[in-house]
Homo-oligomer: A and B are copies of this chain.
Amino acid sequence: MARTPTHPDVSQFDLQTVLEALVDPVRRSIVAQLDAAGADIACGGFDIPVSKSTATHHFTVLREAGLIRQYYVGTSRMNALRRAEMDETFPGLLDALTARRAARRGG
């Protein structure tokens, strides 16, 4: 595993790529969990119904789309939601997809 995985710059964000990342329910769940937690989460800390190798695949897709930033802490790989950068490029998109909006309207 590379010490410093590839992260796209904000200028390289692409709507098609981001959509293809977010259309998968597992990946959308990952983003939603990060958003709800408001904190970084290790790969193993998510509640997702797939094997480790599949999880690795999903995190890679999210990272390459620019949705998350990954960094190592010991043997754990932490995941951070790049929300501000996403909001800057695609305003309203994450709000519309993470069901935050519903919770916010409610209270």
Contacts and interface: CB of A to CB of B under 8 A. Distances in A.
Contacts of A25: 16
Contacts of A72: none
Given A16-B25, A20-B23, A101 B96 contact: no
Q: Interface majority SS on A: helix, strand, loop or mixed?
A: helix
A45 to B, nearest CB: 24
Contacts of A22: 19
Nearest to A20: B23
A71 interface: no
A93 to B, nearest CB: 4
13 contacts: A15-B97, A16-B25, A19-B19, A19-B22, A90-B96, A91-B96, A91-B101, A92-B92, A92-B93, A92-B96, A93-B93, A93-B96, A96-B96
Interface of A: 15-16, 19-20, 22-23, 25, 90-93, 95-97, 101
